[in-house]
Amino acid sequence: MSIFLRDHYGNSRLSAAQIVRDPLLFLAFGFGSGLSGKMPGTFGTLAAVPLYLLLLQGPGWLYLFATLAGIVGGVYICDKAAQKLQVHDYGGIVWDEIAGFLITMCWLPFSWQTLLAGFALFRLFDIVKPWPIGWLDRHVQGGMGIMLDDVAAGLLAALVLNTLF
């Protein structure tokens, strides 16, 4: 087995193959990026970059619609994945990172500088969890709790980026 994959995931001890074959878990694990044994949140955010670049090719309303759908659908996806794994906010569940990064990049003109700054700021706020992100992470449960701290990290990163750029 690869050093990047685990033997099993969650308290239900699912294999990587089981996760990839389950459409809901495949989404929750960020198209497989959350299977990483090290830094799954960072790999999940990396998985959001091609989606971001693809959505940039369409009209702005499509980007906003996809981001909102990712947030709303993410509450369900993350909740069901946590139930299947029998662990609340399991590290491999990275759909919330994908939605959070899309929020971060909303309303920004594309450049490689904004992309890199957005990636770095979102990861920083998601890892450090300054107030109110940390409070949300500790006090809101279920799929909403899994999603909400990353939504807040994305909003905070977007606020900083829109001030800088």
For every one of its 165 residues, what pLDDT tens digit does the chain have, with 9 covering 90 and above?
A: 465 678 899 999 999 999 999 999 999 999 999 999 899 999 999 999 999 999 999 999 999 999 999 999 999 999 999 999 999 889 999 999 999 999 999 989 999 999 999 999 999 999 999 999 999 999 999 999 999 999 999 999 999 999 999
Q: Check residue 2 and give its pLDDT.
A: 60
**9 located within any domain:** no
* C-alpha 140, offset from chain centre: 17
Maximum alpha-carbon separation in the chain = 45
Containing structural domain, residue 43 = 16-164
Asked, for residue 87, whether it belongs to a domain, the answer is yes
125 within a domain of the structure (yes/no): yes
User: Per DSSP, what are the bridge partners of residue 14?
Assistant: 9
Alpha-carbon gap, residue 94 to 36, rounded angstroms: 11
Identify the H or E element spanning 70: helix 60-85
pTM of the entire predicted model:
0.94
Q: What pLDDT does 3 receive?
A: 53
| Burial group, residue 145, by CB count within 10 angstroms (0-12, 13-18, 19+) | buried
pLDDT at 6: 84
Question: What's the domain count of the chain?
Answer: 1
Residue 10 lies in a domain: no
